[in-house]
């Protein structure tokens, strides 16, 4: 159908980019702030701004219930109805703050990811701890699930800076959990629809939980709620900060593709620093960085 009133449930990476794609979207959030978790993770190394206030007009409230077919949502004392709906409720990560704090205070920190697609998060955390002068260890693969070329580049980079890969770890990064009102991660169609005029975006989608990917799904879901009929072509894009240099990874292998690109240079580290500041300044808006 397209057009009409669009309800956007959630104001993280995906929800915000859906909102920016829709002239008159209704953004619903349970927190007044956007949190950029790439910058949040960097706090393991040094204090970094990672939150920004949400756009004016955001409706604040805890979501009590919603219906995909009826396209309505209930908040405390309020029911909103729409012509289209975008589910961008994200995922829950129990105890992740506690785990990161304990790692920061450990003399010999080591970390693994419970969920294989979170290995890039665990690896980056270890790299930041290493940059603090700690003998941090990583337990997991060199992102083998992104393809052989990526695996070799990450493995060689770890050896170059002397990070050891261990079989036993002190801490485990908890696996992501779907929003309690959804119950499970979702498998939408190529246009991100899960029902008539209802779309899903971001970390509610089964697979890697990645800010850049969530932003793209939000923008596509927003466009399709307006009747554009776009199809998602998922790709993993991330910069690993090794301190002296950055490793910029692109891969669609987790979705059955064969494309892999790895670029390694000190410039990539500077790019990651810029991105950390850009998304806070732009309140999560992908903008021109969608073309990178």
Q: What radius of gyration, in Å, describes the C-alpha atoms of the chain?
A: 19
Q: Is the pLDDT of residue 19 over 90?
A: yes
At how many degrees (to 10) do helices 119-131 and 148-161 cross? 20
Query: In sequence order, what DSSP letters do the residues of 20-69 get, joined into one string?
Result: HH-TTEEEEESSSEEE-HHHHHHTTTS----EEEPPTTPEE----EEETT
**Which of these CATH numbers, 3.20.20.70, 3.50.50.60, 3.40.190.10, 3.30.365.10, describes 6-93+176-225?**
3.50.50.60
pLDDT single digits (tens) 133-185? 999 999 999 999 999 999 999 999 999 999 988 888 989 999 999 999 999 99
Buried b (16+ CB within 10 A) or exposed e, 84-97: bbbbbbbbebeebe
pLDDT for position 290: 80
The residue whose two tokens read 């729409």 is 82
pLDDT for position 3: 62
pLDDT for position 168: 87
Fold held by 96-174+235-291: FAD/NAD(P)-binding domain (3.50.50)
Name the CA dihedral angle for 23, 218, 5, 287, rounded to a multiple of 10 degrees.
Answer: 0
Q: Where are the domains of the chain?
A: 6-93+176-225, 96-174+235-291
Q: Is the pLDDT of residue 2 over 70?
A: no
Query: In sequence order, what DSSP letters do the residues of 143-174 get, joined into one string?
Result: SGGG-HHHHHHHHHHHHHHTPPB-SS-SEEEP
Token pair of 254, please? 């987790």
CA distances from 99 to 110, 115, 203 (A): 11, 15, 21
pLDDT single digits (tens) 25-72? 999 999 999 999 999 999 999 899 999 999 999 999 999 999 999 999
Q: What average pLDDT does range 178-202 have in this prediction?
A: 96
The residue whose two tokens read 């950390």 is 276
Buried b (16+ CB within 10 A) or exposed e, 47-73: ebebebebbeebbebebeebebeebeb
Q: Is 106 exposed, middle or buried (0-12, 13-18, 19+ CB in 10 A)?
A: middle
Answer whether 6-93+176-225 and 96-174+235-291 agree in fold: yes
pLDDT for position 1: 52
Contact between 128 and 44 (Cβ < 8 Å): yes
Q: What is the DSSP letter of 240?
A: E
H helices present in the chain, as ranges: 13-21, 37-42, 96-104, 119-131, 148-161, 211-225, 266-281
Contact between 173 and 113 (Cβ < 8 Å): yes
Q: Under 8 Å CB-to-CB from 289, ≥6 apart: which residues?
A: 275, 278
pLDDT single digits (tens) 259-277? 999 999 999 999 999 999 9
pLDDT single digits (tens) 205-256? 999 999 999 999 999 999 999 999 999 999 999 999 999 999 999 999 999 9
């Amino acid at each position: 159908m397209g057009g009409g009133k669009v309800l956007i449930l959630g104001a993280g990476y995906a929800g915000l980019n859906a909102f920016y794609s829709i002239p008159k979207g209704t953004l619903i959030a349970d927190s007044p702030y956007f949190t950029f978790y790439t910058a949040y993770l960097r706090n393991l190394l040094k204090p970094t701004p990672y939150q920004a206030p949400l756009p004016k007009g955001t409706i604040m409230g805890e979501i009590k219930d919603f219906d995909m077919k009826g396209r309505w949502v209930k908040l405390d004392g309020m029911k909103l109805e729409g012509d289209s709906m975008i589910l961008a409720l994200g995922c829950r990560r129990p105890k992740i703050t506690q785990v990161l704090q304990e790692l920061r205070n450990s003399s010999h920190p080591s970390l693994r990811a419970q969920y294989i697609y979170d290995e890039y998060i665990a690896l980056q955390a270890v790299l930041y701890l290493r940059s603090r002068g700690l003998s941090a260890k990583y337990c997991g693969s060199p992102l083998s699930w992104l393809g052989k070329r990526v695996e070799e580049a990450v493995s060689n980079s770890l050896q170059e800076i002397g990070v050891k890969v261990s079989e036993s770890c002190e801490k485990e990064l908890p696996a992501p959990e779907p929003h309690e009102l959804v119950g499970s991660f979702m498998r939408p169609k190529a246009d991100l629809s899960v029902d008539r005029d209802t779309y899903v975006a971001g970390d509610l989608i089964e697979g890697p939980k990645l800010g850049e990917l969530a932003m793209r799904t939000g923008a596509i879901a927003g466009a399709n709620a307006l009747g554009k009929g776009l199809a998602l072509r998922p790709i993993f894009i991330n910069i690993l900060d090794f301190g002296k240099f950055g490793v910029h990874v692109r891969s669609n292998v987790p979705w059955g593709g064969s494309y892999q690109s790895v670029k390694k240079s000190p410039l990539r580290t500077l790019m990651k620093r810029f991105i950390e500041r850009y998304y806070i300044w732009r309140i999560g808006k992908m903008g021109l960085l969608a073309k990178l």
